[in-house]
Structure 1
Amino acid sequence: MDTELFNELKDSIRQMKAIEKGELAPTRVRVINPENEVAQARMQLGMTQEAFAKLLDTPVGTVRGWEQGRRQPPPSAKVLMRVATKYPEQVLECAEDAVTYNSK
């Protein structure tokens, strides 16, 4: 994950928290298919499909397929999505550590 994209991910999480606290008004409202946990997780985190795919270390086409119901994510991806929505800051911190480690 490159540094610029990672910074966008961190900004998305900060904005999400500010919206939840009522400190910031949402810029748009999206209707999410409640049965699609992938789209729910991604939108809850305020990420694009590309950013979410980078976070999960999977191709963006795979994320699209999951969201469109053409494929199902493996159990490991489902667990990571649940953890990311519950502990977004910690997951991003781990992702940042991975970026730093891989750039050495």
Structure 2
Amino acid sequence: MSDLGFLFYTYLFLINILSFGIYAIDKRRAHYHCWRIPEFVLLGLAVIGGAYGASMGMWLFRHKTLHRSFLITVPLCLVLWLLVLAWICYTNSPSV
């Protein structure tokens, strides 16, 4: 694997961990009626690569599951990022 590939996969891993953690923090703040993380930040994390972490945070914490914008944007971003990963794997696979 090239250095660029390693950096890309490391980025995706870290952004998904961050996204999952931010959803957990926002759910905790919602439970205690504290200051909340803006929705554009939560959705933005999914857009920039944290869609898997966001979807796992939504599912595990039952957070933002009734908001239409989240029910559309997060799964759409997840599918798009999976397509990007599939394309990268396909184009970088050795020829047979």
Q: TM-score, normalised by structure 2?
A: 0.34
Q: TM-score, normalised by structure 1?
A: 0.32
Structure with bigger gyration radius: 2
